[in-house]
Structure 1
Amino acid sequence: MKKILTIAGSDSSGGAGIQADLRTFAKHDLYGFSALTVIVTMDPEKWSHGVYPIEVPVIEAQIQTALDGVGVDAIKLGMLPTPEIIEKVSKYLDIWATKVPVVVDPVMVCKGNKPLFPEHAEAIRTNLIKYATVTTPNLFEAAQLAGMEEITNYDDAVEAAKRIVALGCKAVAITNVGRVMEPKTSADLFYDGNELILMEGNFIDTHHTHGLGCTFAAHVGANLCKGLSARESVFEAKEAIKKGIQKHWAMNEFVGTLNFPDSFQS
C-alpha cells in the first residue's frame, strides 16, 4: 500500500484539515500519516474560529515518525500557521521533495481575507512554493503569492499563475477562478509553465463547501501518490470535488460540507 503524509491542522468540526485529508486518502486506498501543526476550533454560538498552533518540537517529532520511521510516497501540506513552523517544515522538504511529489495547499486564512499571522504569506512564498509539484491556492492566496493586490478577472488569474510558477513550483491550480468571470462558473486554472488550461465547470449554487480547498489538495496529493501526472492529478481532483459538492449536506445553521460516499480506488 502506498503511503502519504499530511502536515496540516486539525479541524475540530471534521470537515477540513487533517480530518478531510485522511478521509480522502482512505477513499483512494492509501495509508495516511499525519503531523498536526495547529488546532482550529469553532465557537458554537457564532462559528468564529480559534487558532492554536502546536509547539515546533512536537511537529518535528510527528514528521520524523513518518519520514524517518517508515517513509512515504507523497507529502501534502495544509495549514502551517506561523513563519517558524513553515521554515522548519521546509527543511524536511529540502530532502524529501527530491524523492516524492509534494502538494502545497498555501492555507493563509480560515475564512475571510486576512492572513493568519503577520508575514505568513511571505514565508509560504519564500520557503514552500519552490518545493511544490502542485500548489493549490484559492483566489486570495494566489494574489498573495503573486504579489498582487487582488484577482478580479481571468487575465489577473493568468498573470498570478505565471508569477507563482516562476517561484519554482512545477504546477499551480488556482481554484474558484470562475467566480470572477461572467457568467459565474466553477472554473479553476491550471498552469505548469507550458500548458495554461481553464478547467471549466458548471456553478453549483451552495454554501455547503466547508473543507473544499483542503479536500481538493488532498485529492491532488492522492493522485500524485498513485503515479498520475500533475495535470491528471488536478483534473481528477476537480471531478472528485464536483461529486462531493453535488452530495453536500448541512452540518448546522452556519456551515455544510462535502460528501464522498464512493471510493476513488484504481
Structure 2
Amino acid sequence: MSTSGGELPTARVLTIAGSDSGGGAGIQADLKTMLAHGVHGMSVLAALTAQNSVGVQDFWPVPADLVTAQFRSVVDDIGVDAIKTGMLADAELVGLVADLLGTLPAPVPVVVDPVCASKHGDPLIAPDAVVALRERLFARADVITPNLGEAALLSGLTVQTPPDELAAALAGSGQTWTLIKGGHAEGEPIDRLYRGAEPVRSYPGPRLSNRHTHGTGCTLASALACQLALGKEMPEAVGAAKRYVTGAIAGGFALGSGIGPVDHLWELRGRID
C-alpha cells in the first residue's frame, strides 16, 4: 500500500456496482460502509437506478466503454487492495467486469455480491446475466455472497433447498468461498461459510424486529471486502462483517414512506453518545 509519497494510512477498496438514488444501497451504501471501516473507498458506476424507499422505478446499465474507463482510471493510477462487485444488469456487463478483473497487475481479494433483485423484489438483472455470473464472474471471485433466493436462482434449485446443497451446487463455479446468507429463512438468521462444498463456519445472529433493512446485502459484501483489504483471513473477516451489518440493521431508520436504510454509521453514533 505504498506510494512515492510514503506509506498509505489505510487500504484501498473499489466497488463496481449500481447507484441507488435513494442512498440506502448500491454504490452509496458501499462507500458509507468503507468510510465506517476507515478505508479509502473508490467506485466504478455500472448502472443507474431511479430508486427510493418503496422500490426501484427504473434502471439503466452504464455503457461498456465508460465502465472500462472508470476501472482503468482507478486501477492504473491509485491501485486497489480489494474489490467488491454488486449490481451488474446484463451478461455483457458481467463479462466485461470479469475481463477487467483479469487484468489486475496483482491478485487482490474479490467479493462478488450477485445482486438479482432489490429489497422490494424488483428485478435488477437480465436472465442471461445469471448464466454469465456463474460462468464468467465467479471464476474471478474469492468469495460470493448470495442470499437464499439468489443461491437458488444461480444453482437452479429452490429456496427450500438446504444451504449445504445450495453451496454444493455452486461449488464448481470457480470461487474459493461461498457465503450463503440466511436472513430470508424462517427462525434464527444463520449465515454459512463454505470452502468449495465443505462447511467451514456458521454465523448466527439475532432476528431483529426493525423493518428498515434496505441495503443489507450491499453493506455486508462491502464490509467483507474492507476486512479482507485490512488483512483478515476469510472466516474472521466474515465474522467481523456480520457483526458490523447486524449493528447497522439494529440502527436502521425510517426514511421515506417505505423500507428505510440500515445505519452505516451506527458505531460512530454509539461513540458520540
Q: Same fold (TM over 0.5)?
A: yes
Count of aligned residue pairs for this structure pair: 256
Query: How far 1:97 sits from its partner (Å)?
Result: 8.9
Identify which of 154, 165, 168 aligns with 1:159. Answer: 165
Q: Give 3-state SS (helix, strand or coil) of 1:50's partner.
A: strand
Structure 1 residues 213-224: aligned runs within 5 Å: 213-224=217-228
Counterpart-to-counterpart distance in 2, 1:43 and 1:113: 12
Query: How far 1:196 sits from its partner (Å)?
Result: 3.4
- Of stretches 92-101 and 4-13 in structure 1, the one that deviates more from structure 2 is 92-101
1:94-133 CA-partner distances (Å, limit 9, x unpaired): 2339510000001112242756212121111111111211
Q: Give 3-state SS (helix, strand or coil) of 1:42's partner.
A: strand
Whether contact under 8 Å (1:97, 1:131) holds in the other structure is: no
Q: Give 3-state SS (helix, strand or coil) of 2:212's partner.
A: coil
Identify which of 154, 161, 174 aligns with 1:168. Answer: 174
Could you state the TM-score of these two structures normalised by the residue count of structure 2?
0.88
Cα 1:215–1:43 shift into 2, 3 Å: closer
Cα 1:175–1:246 shift into 2, 3 Å: same
Whether contact under 8 Å (1:133, 1:171) holds in the other structure is: yes
Counterpart-to-counterpart distance in 1, 2:238 and 2:104: 21
Whether contact under 8 Å (1:113, 1:140) holds in the other structure is: no
Identify which of 80, 91, 99 aligns with 1:72. Answer: 80
Counterpart-to-counterpart distance in 1, 2:40 and 2:132: 30
Whether contact under 8 Å (1:135, 1:172) holds in the other structure is: yes
Structure 1 residues 106-121: aligned runs within 5 Å: 106-110=114-118, 111-112=120-121, 114=123, 116-121=125-130
Structure 1 residues 1-266: aligned runs within 5 Å: 1-42=10-51, 47-96=55-104, 99-110=107-118, 111-112=120-121, 114=123, 116-148=125-157, 150-152=158-160, 156-176=162-182, 179-181=184-186, 184-193=187-196, 194-259=198-263, 260-262=265-267
Could you state the TM-score of these two structures normalised by the residue count of structure 1?
0.90
Q: Name the Cα RMSD after superposition.
A: 1.9
Q: Give 3-state SS (helix, strand or coil) of 1:151's partner.
A: coil
Q: Give 3-state SS (helix, strand or coil) of 1:250's partner.
A: coil
Cα 1:176–1:209 shift into 2, 3 Å: same
Whether contact under 8 Å (2:112, 2:144) holds in the other structure is: yes
Counterpart-to-counterpart distance in 2, 1:71 and 1:102: 14
% same residue: 34
Cα 1:171–1:54 shift into 2, 3 Å: same
Whether contact under 8 Å (2:21, 2:52) holds in the other structure is: no
What are structure 2's unaligned runs of at least 5 residues? 1-9, 269-273
1:132-151 CA-partner distances (Å, limit 9, x unpaired): 11111111111122221x12
1:14-36 CA-partner distances (Å, limit 9, x unpaired): 00011111111111111111000
Q: Give 3-state SS (helix, strand or coil) of 1:162's partner.
A: helix
Q: Give 3-state SS (helix, strand or coil) of 1:256's partner.
A: coil
What are structure 1's unaligned runs of at least 5 residues? none
Whether contact under 8 Å (2:55, 2:122) holds in the other structure is: no
Q: Give 3-state SS (helix, strand or coil) of 2:239's partner.
A: helix
Cα 1:114–1:38 shift into 2, 3 Å: closer
Counterpart-to-counterpart distance in 1, 2:105 and 2:182: 27
Query: How far 1:240 sits from its partner (Å)?
Result: 0.6
